[in-house]
Amino acid sequence: MSRIELRDVDVDFPLLQADQRSLKRLLSFYGGRSRFGADHWQRPVLQGLRRVSLTLQRGDRVALIGANGAGKSTLLRVMAGIYPPVSGSVVIEGRVGALLTAGLGMRDDVSGYDNVEFCLLLQGVRPEQIPEKRAEIAAFAQLGEYMHLHVGAYSSGMRLRLAFAISTAIDPDILVLDEVFGVGDASFIKKAEMRMNELVQRSKIFVLATHDAALAQRFCEQALWLDRGEIRQFGPTETIIRNYLQSAG
């Protein structure tokens, strides 16, 4: 069974250096459309998500669309269990694989091989499965002897290769993806796209945050339009994207 169920989910981000006077100025400047507010202790916060309710089941392929800052990445992180809501409920059934920030969880002070083991354990891979996956990841990343070197010495491209190989080494029930990042030269990008396509097909629920309308329509039958942290529309991908683009134009 694979399911995501969100009910009236709110997510706030504390504004650590803001005081009451600055909060009042923000509220005054933005008027009724302000996403700045205060929590139960009257501390200033940025309202990341507001009253988000959504149910996804096996077979759902959903694109998250909206302007920068609309809440797409925040919603993905709620689905991945990274951000807890300040109110509302989140129920996740199934193993979640999250490709959000390249290199998330990787350590610069240890080797590529050590990072593979560390990150796989974070993703819930059983220790007895790690040797096989370790070898497969090293072969896919094509970093050779650099796998023995500490990651802090890697170039950005090498780091992305390793991060992508690790992130796509498991078969999650629920796959959430924040955009698509480049991972090297043309030959490696082609191989990475094939791996990504296979992973998407194997996942039971797929959620993609993207600004690319063609990519959204390629992978997703439904789209969810987020606007200032709230769901504005949810429905067939082509219809929602058309409405969003018309609104933006």
Distance CA 162, CA 112 (A): 8
- Which pair of structure tokens corresponds to residue 220? 């997703």
- Which pair of structure tokens corresponds to residue 248? 């933006």
Residue in 207, 184, 195, 161 with CA at minimum distance from that of residue 3: 207
Percent pLDDT > 90 in the chain is: 55
Residue in 209, 116, 208 with CA at minimum distance from that of residue 159: 116
pLDDT above 80 (res 234): yes
- Which pair of structure tokens corresponds to residue 31? 């008027």
Distance CA 214, CA 227 (A): 20
Segment 181-187 mean pLDDT: 66
* Domains and their CATH numbers in the chain: 3-94+209-248 (3.40.50.300), 99-203 (3.40.50.300)
Segment 129-139 mean pLDDT: 95
- Which pair of structure tokens corresponds to residue 154? 């890697």
Give the tens place of pLDDT for each residue, 78-89. 999 889 999 999
Bridge partner list, 150 = 111
Distance CA 114, CA 117 (A): 5
Listing from the earlier edge strand, what are the strands of the sheet with 36-38?
36-38, 44-57, 3-14, 87-93
Confidence tier at 29 by pLDDT (50, 70, 90): very low
Bridge partner list, 55 = 5
Contacts of 104 (CB under 8 A, 6+ apart): 163
pLDDT at 41: 63
Other residues' Cβ atoms within 10 Å of the Cβ of residue 202: 12
- The residue type at 236: P
Confidence tier at 30 by pLDDT (50, 70, 90): very low
pTM, two decimal places: 0.81
- The residue type at 6: L
As a 3-state breakdown, the chain gives helix, strand, coil percent values, each rounded to 5, of: 40, 30, 30
Segment 187-207 mean pLDDT: 88
CB 173 within 8 Å of CB 95? yes
CB 164 within 8 Å of CB 192? yes
Separation of first and last alpha carbons in the chain: 41
Considering 3-12, 42-51, 97-106, the range whose residues carry the highest mean pLDDT is 3-12
